[in-house]
Structure 1
Amino acid sequence: MSLAELLSELISLHVALKKVKLGVLLWNLKEEAKMLPASDVCLIPIFIFIFIMNTIIWNCRGACKPSFRKHVGELVRNHNPAILVIMETRVGGNRAKGIIDRLPFDGSMHTDSIGYAGGIWMLWDSERVDVSLLANTEQENHASVKVRNANSSWLFIVVYASLRTVERHILWNNLIKTAELHNMPWILAGDFNEPLSMEDKFEGRAVSVNRSLLFKECLDKCNMIDIGFSGPRFTWTNRREIQALIQERIDRVFVNPSWCLLYPEARVVHLTRCHSDHCPILLEMQSRINMGRKRPFRFQTCWLSKPSFPSIVSRALSDSSALRDAVNRFTQAVIRWNASHFGNIFNRKKNIMARINGIQRALSVRPSAFLVNLENELLKDLDKVLNQEEELWALKSRVN
């Protein structure tokens, strides 16, 4: 009998003993546990987040980069978006479709890039939302969104504004005309490539008063509201040394009053910036509900790939005379061992992301050469950890 089979038998016997003792209660708990996903680290508390809707808007600056899929995976795992909007993909046609098909969404529409510029993808989970394309241009996508578990529909316009002033004027006029044609709840979000005020820019050329007034006039005529944000102030940086550093808040979310009535607790979060020079923008439409519970113990077959694992089993069996004590000792020991061998990857990633976010907040208030260099070093460390995590998932997949 192999080591894995022996452990499986031991754990099964232990569960059987407890089942006799606890009767129907334990059986119900076991059946409930089967509905939970497999654990990355045993017996860690999980939190079930209930969202009516979560939307992320991100200028990724190229969807063909090797790290693109890893960062999309991080956004999905951490924020569970029903809709993900990706701009400046710089890819179109069959190549774009091939990348989209490998992302964790079953609904999609995309506007192709023009040469090596532009491109807007809208991806969604069709179990939660029904999205229908209404119209699109090079600078905007218009869609209607129906939330499946609620009797609500709204207009969603995604903007990727041109760097050319004349073309942005065309965009502002299109948005004003759209506002005149409907009275639906409405989200207007994306990369507007235009700061609204001097507070939205650090260094570089001064904000053009005339251009910002045209932008404000468009927002006023569309009856748009800025609901504020949390996180680093600036959403874009040129990633230069401190002497040439420029930062701007140009990625934004606006909503109209009727949309606010649908989602009064909605909030905007500027997420940690990595992979791109733009940070992802999270629109969280309902407060998180914390339902703390622990995952059941799960034997992970990838443990067998570690040479130190058999000694954990041997010590648990040799130090205990009773089967129940042996299984309990093994369970506690392997939880600690698992955290040190596999869990530290996830902890390191979490710590690095938190440090990068803190640095980006500090850079938006008081930039310094030290912070710029530290951010660059931590971004390199993050790439290494994400590669290690990818290798871990591949190992789990192979062994299982």
Structure 2
Amino acid sequence: MRILSWNCRGAGRAPTVRALKALVHRERPDIIFIFESKAKSPRVEKIKEWLKFRRCFCVNAENKSGSLALYRAKGVSLEVIFDNKNIIACLVYIDPPTDVWLLLLVYGPPKVGHREAFWDLVTNITESFSGPWMLLGDCNSYSPSSDKFGGSSRGDYSSKPFRNFLSNAAAIELGFHGPQYTWVGRRSGGVHARIRLDQGCCNQEWQEMFPNAGIKHLVAPTSDHKPILLDPHFENNNINKPFRFEAMWARDPECEDVVDQAWRKEFFGSHGFNLMKKNIPQRLFAE
């Protein structure tokens, strides 16, 4: 089940609709999530007909801003269980029908003051669901410093609620293929900042269900955000997956031996050099 997510920055313009149709034709997604479309239900329904999708769900724009729209193709079985101006939460039913996972499609609040409450809400939703879950969309935040280039350091603090969510939920960030940054902010005189705002993460159960899942960063000329495509059966071996310590590793029976082997190694040099060299290699966990 391939899912396309795009902050399209207005679906009322013909170029945006053409770009969306081209993406659908090329990538063949089963679910489409667009946001900041600034459109209301009639326009969202019309786009559904142009895309030849079977169903759509819309959270209407407020004062000509915002708006979330979810489209699904024939054969996709899902149920929306919660929505507001920043999130659509739905249950996705797979074969057999008793198997279900939670999909969270998000548009993180642009205003810094609203982010803590939003990520607290996302935490509550994931904690209330005992099965696999996946989160996808524009988080309007970033996790490691490598996900940002240029601009001020103010965004480091404003992304703290998102980082807290990732930590508290033991979320696993999916890797990606393509350009690193999904958003480019510009000011007069040139580029201001590049950030990977659009991304996906999941819990351990979802990753076990789709161990080959990955994300592609795509290109669309009509928005300052790149569309992203979640493919549960991603086949590219060059996927960029940043190293993260996963809480589940500590529960592995071999974890203590791996740590012990790394710590017993001897190196010549300063204390700092020794500590760096004894850093547990990622490959030991991956084997």
TM range (shorter): 0.7 to 0.9
TM-score for the superposition, normalised by structure 1: 0.56
Query: Offset of 1:241 from its aligned partner?
Result: 6.3
> Which of 73, 90, 108 lines up with 2:38 in the alignment?
90
Q: Distance in 2 between matches of 1:55 and 1:93?
A: 21
> Which of 99, 105, 110 lines up with 2:47 in the alignment?
99
Moved over 6 A (4+): none
TM-score for the superposition, normalised by structure 2: 0.76
**Which entry has the higher C-alpha Rg, 1 or 2?**
1
SS at structure 2 position matched to 1:70: helix
Query: Offset of 1:149 from its aligned partner?
Result: 7.4
The aligned counterpart of 1:210 is 157
The aligned counterpart of 2:94 is 147
User: Do 1:90 and 1:116's aligned partners in 2 also have CA atoms closer than 8 Å?
Assistant: yes
> Which of 206, 212, 225 lines up with 2:172 in the alignment?
225
The aligned counterpart of 2:270 is none
> Which of 223, 226, 229 lines up with 1:279 in the alignment?
226
Amino acid at match of 1:182: F
Deviations 1:182-204 (A, max 9, x none): 11111111111112233222222
Q: Aligned runs of 1:1-400 on 2, under 5 Å?
A: 53-127=1-75, 129-148=76-95, 152-239=99-186, 243-287=190-234
SS at structure 2 position matched to 1:245: strand
User: Do 1:154 and 1:185's aligned partners in 2 also have CA atoms closer than 8 Å?
Assistant: yes
Aligned length: 236
Q: CA RMSD in A?
A: 2.1
Ranges in structure 2 where 5+ consecutive residues have no aligned partner: 236-287
Query: Offset of 1:285 from its aligned partner?
Result: 1.0
SS at structure 2 position matched to 1:277: coil
The aligned counterpart of 1:378 is none
Deviations 1:303-352 (A, max 9, x none): xxxxxxxxxxxxxxxxxxxxxxxxxxxxxxxxxxxxxxxxxxxxxxxxxx
Query: Offset of 1:98 from its aligned partner?
Result: 2.5
SS at structure 1 position matched to 2:44: helix
Query: Offset of 1:112 from its aligned partner?
Result: 0.6
Amino acid at match of 2:67: G
User: Do 1:269 and 1:282's aligned partners in 2 also have CA atoms closer than 8 Å?
Assistant: yes
Ranges in structure 1 where 5+ consecutive residues have no aligned partner: 1-52, 289-400
Query: Offset of 1:178 from its aligned partner?
Result: 1.2
The aligned counterpart of 1:349 is none
Query: Offset of 1:150 from its aligned partner?
Result: 7.6
The aligned counterpart of 2:239 is none
Q: Distance in 2 between matches of 1:94 and 1:55?
A: 23
User: Do 1:270 and 1:279's aligned partners in 2 also have CA atoms closer than 8 Å?
Assistant: yes
Task: Pick the structure with more helix per residue.
Answer: 1
Task: Pick the structure with more strand per residue.
Answer: 2
The aligned counterpart of 1:374 is none
Deviations 1:279-309 (A, max 9, x none): 0111111146xxxxxxxxxxxxxxxxxxxxx
Q: Which has the higher contact order (CA 8 A, sep 6+)?
A: 1
Amino acid at match of 1:284: D
Amino acid at match of 2:179: P
